[in-house]
Every structure is written in structure tokens, then in C-alpha cells.
Amino acid sequence: MINKMIAGAGMKIFKGGIQMEVSMDKDHTGVIVVDVQGDFTHFKKGSLAVQNTDQDYIDAVLSTTKQLKSKGYKIFATQDFHPENHISFYTSHKNKSAYETIDVEGRTQVLWPPHCVRGAENTEILIDKNLFTATIQKGMNPKYDSYSGFFDDVGMATGLDDLLKSHGITTLLIYGLATDYCVKATAMDALKSGFKVILVEELCKGVALDTTASALEEMRSAGIKIISRVSDLPSF
Ligand SMILES: [Zn+2]
């Protein structure tokens, strides 16, 4: 009860000289673990392994997620889940290499190595599934990519927005892979969907340093609160 009262009272966090108020209410706060899947990690020698995703990273994500779960937060996961001929794979296009970009109906599409193909071992989420209230799969349409856990590249809803709202969630803690792509897209869409968004930086890893730095800046200036670790939260 006391914890709840303190949590509900909000707390001012000072970071980089900017005063940010983070109001936490566990009953209305959810967690989204973004794409912590084998193919995005060095831990599983993934095809699209993000830097600094060794076993220590997975252990940190797991232990924090367990802590949050034990404190009563509802945990949701997103999972990149592609067909074999997905548009984001360079192998789906003639004479293209990984990391080239192409134009798809006016949108820039990065061509990635094939990753997170449905049914493949490295598509599995590396965190105990029993922690999750639900897992939202994305990128299942071969024609469209979906970095965001909320909407694909042509705005088709995944159902995550409705699901979170049906659980009464108004604030989201977000972390996972990769900071500069799916984490950013998910966090920005969460904000646009009306949620307060807190990003846990220590549990996010990016594909490249420059795009990671600019993604963090973009999120911060859009109004997303960025904290280093969950122990910075008022209720920890
Ligand atoms: Zn993908």
C-alpha cells in the first residue's frame, strides 16, 4: 500500500540538467520487451546480431523483467515474425546485398539479412514466455515491414494498442532490440497512441552508434522519458 502511494505520487528525475517528472502507477503501467530474439543477438550467433548482446545482456533483460513481473507490472513482448520471402530480406530481391536500401511505394526499405523467419529456432524470444501477458507478432505480411510493435509500414494495427488499453495501461516501460529501429518505432508509436513512455536505456542495444544516438535524441525530444535503469524508477 505504501509502495503504491509513493509510486502514484510521481517523482522528479534529473538527467542532463533537464527536469523530468515520471509518474508511476503500477496498475496502469505495462512493460514492452521489444524483439529480444535469437537472430538479433550475439548470444545466439544471430544473422542480424546487434552489438553488445551477449549472455550478460540477456541475463540483465531476464532478471529485470522478472523483477518487474514480481512487482505486479504486466509484461508484453513483441516478436519479429517473417515469412521466408519477406520484403525486408535482401534475398527477396534480385542483385541486392544486405544493408542496401530500396524504395517501396515511396518508403525507404533497408534490406537486411534474412532473420526471424517463422518456425526458425532463432526467431524464438530468449526470455521466459511465462513472464508475458501476451506476445504480439509483427512483420507477417510478406509485402510490408513492421519495425513498430503497434503498426506496420502501411499503418495496419497489430492489435497491441487495443490490447494494452483493454488492460487499462496508460504508461509503458519499453526496452529491447534494437534501439535505432524497432525500439524507436515502437516507443514513438506508443507515444502517438496516447501512452506515456519511459525507455530503459541500459536494456536497449542499437545496430549502429550514430543511428542509436540520434534515435535516443529523437525519442527524448518527442517527450519520451529516458532512464538508465529500472532502479531509477520511483517504485524501485
Ligand atoms: Zn524484421
* Residue 110 resides in a domain: no
pLDDT at 236 (0 to 100):
64
What residue numbers bound the domain in which 37 lies?
29-82+121-231
- pLDDT greater than 80 at residue 129: yes
- pLDDT reading at 122 higher than 90: yes
Domain for residue 180, yes or no? Answer: yes
pLDDT band at 216 (very low <50, low <70, confident <90, very high): very high
pLDDT of residue 2: 35
pLDDT at 56: 98
- Residue tagged active-site, from 35, 80, 153, 180: 35
pLDDT tens column, 155-182:
999 999 999 999 999 999 999 999 999 9
From the CA of 88, how far away is ligand 1's center (Å)? 7
Work out the percent of the chain whose per-residue pLDDT is above 90.
Answer: 86
- Cα of 6 from ligand 1 centre, angstroms: 40
Tell how far the Cα of 127 is from the centroid of ligand 1, in angstroms. Answer: 18
Catalytic residue among 44, 138, 184, 196: 138
Task: For residue 183, tell me if it sits in a domain.
Answer: yes
138 is catalytic: yes
CATH number at residue 151: 3.40.50.850
pLDDT in tens, 63-78: 999 999 999 999 999 9
Mean predicted confidence (pLDDT) in 70-88:
97
Tens-place pLDDT, residues 1-48: 333 333 333 444 444 434 345 556 778 999 999 999 999 999 999 999
Q: What are the residues whose beta carbon lies below 5 Å from ligand 1 (ion)?
A: 80, 139
Q: Is the Cα dihedral 38, 41, 46, 47 positive or negative?
A: positive
In a domain, 24, yes or no: no
| Residue 41 covered by a domain | yes
Q: Is residue 94 part of a domain?
A: no
Q: Is residue 54 part of a domain?
A: yes
Q: Sign of the C-alpha dihedral, residues 57, 41, 213, 210?
A: positive
Instruction: Tally the domains of the chain.
Output: 1
Q: Is the pLDDT of residue 185 over 50?
A: yes
What's the whole-number mean pLDDT along residues 103-124? Answer: 96
Backbone angles phi, psi at 68, to 5 degrees: -60, -40
Residue 187 belongs to a domain: yes
Paired with 112 in beta bridges are: 89
Per-residue pLDDT, 22? 56
Grid cell digits, residue 76:
508484453
To the query of whether residue 182 is one of the catalytic residues in this protein, the response is yes
Mean confidence (pLDDT) of the chain: 91
Say what the pLDDT of residue 27 is.
Answer: 83
35 classed as catalytic: yes
